[in-house]
Amino acid sequence: MNNNRLPMLLGLGVLAWVGIVILLAFSGRLIIHRFGPMPEQPVQFNHSLHVNKLNLECLYCHQYAEQSIHATLPPTQVCRDCHEGADIQRPEAQKLAELLETVDEIPWQRVYKVKDHVYFTHRVHTTVAKLRCQECHGPIEDMTVAIRSAGGSSDRSFLEMGWCITCHKRRDGPRECINCHK
Ligand code: HEC
Ligand code: HEC
Ligand code: HEC
Ligand code: HEC
Ligand code: HEC
């Protein structure tokens, strides 16, 4: 190869990398702009693996999603049932094993949260309105980390009042203030 070309090729390579980095940062910013930063979890829980590969139902872990206001996160005993004593050669599973020895309950950080002045209940949405979890939570069974996702909705007001109202208009949900602000 002609030695004079080397600096030019190197320069092009650097330019390409800078481009890729800018692009990644920009798309990351777009996601963060729309859904807010995702919380850091004590251990990375992989929905895709537990739901798609191990065939566990959502309700196996989110027991009250059809009965109550809160779907609830699984008590750590649910994880212990399978993981205690199991030697799974995956870095996050090893991290989990260490964590299970030091804490009683894993301090999960909430991904979805409406403000305290808002009344939302899972039971009515999952059983009376018969909505699938994915309509509000996106394709969580394909996620290796749970992120906020508007599901089928491309509504920019995701998780804000306009998001609830848009669906309530479309599907005949209640629209009086008192329903959501008690
Ligand atoms: C029904 C049994 C079962 C339950 C319940 C279960 N797990 Fe697992 N988990 C597994 C198995 C099996 C694997 C390894 C699968 C493989 O390697 O293909 C695994 C893998 C993992 C991994 C490694 C994932 C990765 O991407 O490397 C983590 C972390 C984990 N589980 C966390 C949890 C937590 C936290 C809970 C409780 C909320 C839980 N698991 C509940 C069976 C279970
Ligand atoms: C083996 C247990 C397990 C199964 C099965 C499971 N999840 Fe989860 N899920 C968890 C754990 C643990 C967390 C908390 C960690 C996290 O947010 O990543 C969580 C978090 C979530 C969150 C975010 C909660 C928040 O913090 O606001 C949603 C939404 C969710 N799961 C929906 C689902 C749906 C829908 C299914 C079925 C397709 C499902 N999960 C199946 C264990 C499970
Ligand atoms: C109509 C939209 C909607 C549907 C359908 C829905 N969720 Fe939710 N989910 C939400 C909202 C909004 C929050 C935040 C609630 C809050 O802050 O109190 C939430 C929060 C959660 C949480 C966090 C912990 C908790 O108890 O609030 C989990 C876990 C969860 N949902 C799982 C599920 C599962 C599993 C299904 C299906 C069986 C489901 N959701 C169906 C809108 C929905
Ligand atoms: C994807 C559609 C959809 C979304 C998104 C949605 N809802 Fe609903 N909601 C419904 C439907 C449909 C009903 C009516 C169910 C029935 O009674 O037939 C309903 C009913 C309700 C009720 C009445 C509960 C009861 O006890 O009768 C409340 C409160 C409510 N929604 C709050 C909210 C809030 C707050 C949000 C946003 C954080 C929200 N909903 C987002 C579809 C939705
Ligand atoms: C279907 C549910 C729903 C109905 C009906 C509803 N709201 Fe809301 N409202 C919400 C949600 C969800 C938020 C929280 C938005 C957020 O967290 O950013 C909110 C927020 C608000 C806020 C505070 C804005 C903020 O930044 O927190 C006010 C004020 C408000 N609503 C007034 C009303 C009035 C007045 C009505 C009746 C005309 C009404 N809402 C009907 C769901 C509803």
pLDDT digits (tens, 9 = 90+) for 136-180: 999 999 999 998 887 655 556 778 899 999 999 999 999 999 999
Q: Which two tokens stand for residue 127?
A: 């059983």
How many angstroms does the Cα of residue 115 sit away from the middle of ligand 5? 9
Q: How far apart are CA 152 and CA 165, in angstroms?
A: 16
Examine the pLDDT at 29 and tell me if it is beyond 60. no
C-alpha 149 to ligand 1 mean position (Å) = 23
Sign of CA dihedral 49, 150, 173, 71: positive
Q: pLDDT tens-digit profile of 37-52? A: 788 999 999 999 999 9
Q: How far apart are the first and last CA of the chain?
A: 75
| pLDDT for 33 | 45
Residue 35 has pLDDT above 70, yes or no: no
pLDDT in tens, 60-92: 999 999 999 999 999 999 999 999 989 899 999
CA distance 25 to 28: 5
Angle at the Cα of 75 from the Cα atoms of 77 and 61, rounded to 5 degrees: 100
Q: What is the pLDDT of residue 32?
A: 46
Tokens representing residue 21 in the block: 């980095």
What is the C-alpha to C-alpha distance for residues 164 and 158, in angstroms, rounded to an integer?
8
CA of residue 146 to ligand 2 center, whole Å: 7
Q: Which ligand is nearest to the CA of 112?
A: 2
Provide the 10 A C-beta neighbour count for residue 171.
Answer: 9
Q: Which tops the pLDDT comparison, 35 or 118?
A: 118
